[in-house]
Amino acid sequence: METFPIVKDPTPSLRQRSREVEVSEIQTPEFQVYLDKLARTMIVEDGVGIASPQVGRNIRAIVVNMPKGPECFMNPEIVKKSEAMEASDEGCLSVPGKYGVVQRHKKVTLRALNRHGRRVQFEAKAFPAIIFQHEIDHLDGILFIDKATNIVTASNGKHI
């Protein structure tokens, strides 16, 4: 299967707020193919998460590598977050070669539409919680380098 090229910083579209998607849009065969291609891109690029603006389409769709494998979420929202924070070492497919430490909420409750267009609500903690916060930031035009301290340049590390 084909994959998308990754849009890299500093591309202006990475800094835009992405638009919401409609349930009827999610349920089209074209959108389902798009989600598969987005997930495939994440896997091939060795990411643990990817947001649609990273492939040049500014819509609120993300893929997160969950314990059971990649899952797609549309219009994801954080409805509750722990006061407790955790420092995470982050990198991003759109910011190649840079890594930094970001403070994230340890636990978040998310509401989203799944790939069938059904509303889901669940809690994420530890690494998946970090991935969700990083990907939702992408939908609002925010990159981890906006929040990171101790940014270093390196050739490998995890990308979310």
Calculate the CA 115 to chain-centre distance.
Answer: 15
Closest contact distance (angstroms) between CB of 92 and Zn ion is: 3
Which residue of the chain is nearest Zn ion when measured via CB? 92
Specify the residue, 22 or 86, whose C-beta has the smaller distance to Zn ion.
Answer: 86
Q: Are the C-beta atoms of 115 and 35 separated by less than 8 Å?
A: yes
Calculate the CA 79 to chain-centre distance.
Answer: 17
Look at residue 36 and give its three-state secondary structure. helix
Rg, C-alpha atoms of the chain: 15
Catalytic option among 30, 86, 90, 135: 135
Closest contact distance (angstroms) between CB of 138 and Zn ion is: 6
User: Is 25 known to be catalytic?
Assistant: no
Specify the residue, 47 or 113, whose C-beta has the smaller distance to Zn ion.
Answer: 47
The candidate with the shortest Cα–Cα distance to 108, out of 125, 120, 121, is: 125
Calculate the CA 92 to chain-centre distance.
Answer: 10
Specify the residue, 74 or 92, whose C-beta has the smaller distance to Zn ion.
Answer: 92
Interacting residues toward Zn ion by CB under 5 A: 92
Closest contact distance (angstroms) between CB of 91 and Zn ion is: 8
Closest contact distance (angstroms) between CB of 160 and Zn ion is: 5
The DSSP bridge partners found for residue 156 are: none
Specify the residue, 56 or 118, whose C-beta has the smaller distance to Zn ion.
Answer: 56
Give catalytic residues, as residue numbers.
135
